[in-house]
Chains A and B, each alone.
Chain A
Amino acid sequence: MQTEMSLWSYANPTRFMATTRPLLPWLSALAAACLVVGLIWGFFFTPDDYRQGSTVKIIYLHVPSALMAINAWFMMLVASLIWLIRRHHVSALAAKAAAPVGVTMTLVALVTGAVWGSPMWGTWWAWDPRLTSFLILFLFYLGYMALWAAIEDPDTAADLTSVLCVVGSVFAVLSRYAVNFWNQGLHQGASLSLDAEENVADVFYFPLLVCIAGFVLLFVALVLARTRTEIRARRLHALQLRERMA
């Protein structure tokens, strides 16, 4: 007998736990390997930039973290929409699990950007369109996590945070495209682009790609691990309620 498989079968918590358990160690090891190789390559074995000097080495943290800050929100948006439309609990919990990872990536991007901007722009901060939309995205992450924490009923919390996630997506889009929408900011254009003329030089590009792969894998591994914890926490909450009522 042939069993029909679909993506939705992973929305079953038991199936999700069984599938992700063997995957996690491999993903974590691959993430660690990419991060170690990419960061060592970028830090120790790339030259200084003729204009930026050694601050160019900050690119290996700033670009991948900024990329993941935005994409984490989009992952949360997809998971939230799945929850709102199909009511799969695992997707709501995956969105919840991704938020602390996304907020950390946003903070890394903001901090490294400020540290880089101080010598290069002569200021830690400017109310530039990209910087400002990134700051608002950071505040949306905090608001999203606070909303999850503030509402006791998990389904209501999932509903309201999903709506907040949809609204916040405007700022995730602005964070990505602010440089293209408004041309008056301090922030330069994208470091990586499908248009080869805009890309950084090859000597910086390849270690940067490895670092980006490391950040993506780290994000996936952390979200899977945290989603597993959220599923367990939900089960624990249900058992504790039953114990109290018995």
Chain B
Amino acid sequence: MPDLGKYAVEVGAAYGLSAVLIVGLVALTLWRGKRVKRALDAAEGRRNA
């Protein structure tokens, strides 16, 4: 771990908050993608039944 000196809180906060936002966006993208795909597969299944 590099010595961040007196700005450790600021650097840590910048990386931490950015990680939360970006990981959250990726997770939401994957979650909604799976949810919509599952619902579409079910609807296509009902249509073809």
Contact = CB atoms under 8 A, between A and B. Distances in A.
Contacts of B43: 236, 239-240, 243
A229 B36 contact: yes
A61 interface: yes
Given A61-B14, A239-B44, A233 B7 contact: no
- For chain B, which range describes its interface: under 10, 10 to 19, 20 to 34, or 35 or more residues? 20 to 34
A239 B47 contact: yes
Given A55-B11, A222-B29, A44 B2 contact: yes
Given A58-B14, A61-B18, A107-B21, A53 B7 contact: yes
Main secondary structure of the interface of A (DSSP, over half): helix
A65 B37 contact: no
A48 B6 CA distance: 12
Interface in B20-49: 21-22, 24-26, 28-30, 32-33, 36-37, 39-40, 43-44, 46-47
A43 B10 contact: no
A22 B8 CA distance: 42
Contact of B21 (A108, A222, A232): A108
Interface residues of A, number: 36
Contact of B2 (A43, A55, A242): A43
Main secondary structure of the interface of B (DSSP, over half): helix
Contact of B37 (A112, A116, A232): A232
B11 A104 contact: no
Given A53-B5, A228-B33, A101 B25 contact: yes
A19 interface: no
A48 B5 contact: yes
Interface in A223-246: 225-226, 228-229, 232-233, 235-236, 239-240, 242-243
A237 to B, nearest CB: 10
Contacts of A240: 43
A54 interface: yes
B36 A233 contact: yes
A58 B11 contact: yes
B25 A222 contact: yes
A57 interface: yes
A118 B10 contact: yes
Give the 3 A-B residue pairs with the shortest CB-CB distance, closest first.
Answer: A54-B4, A239-B43, A229-B33
19 contacts: A44-B2, A48-B5, A53-B5, A54-B5, A55-B10, A57-B4, A58-B11, A61-B15, A100-B25, A104-B24, A115-B17, A116-B14, A119-B10, A222-B29, A229-B29, A233-B36, A235-B40, A236-B36, A236-B43
Given A100-B25, A104-B22, A108-B18, 13 more contacts: A48-B5, A53-B5, A54-B2, A57-B11, A58-B11, A65-B18, A104-B25, A108-B22, A111-B14, A222-B29, A226-B33, A229-B36, A236-B36
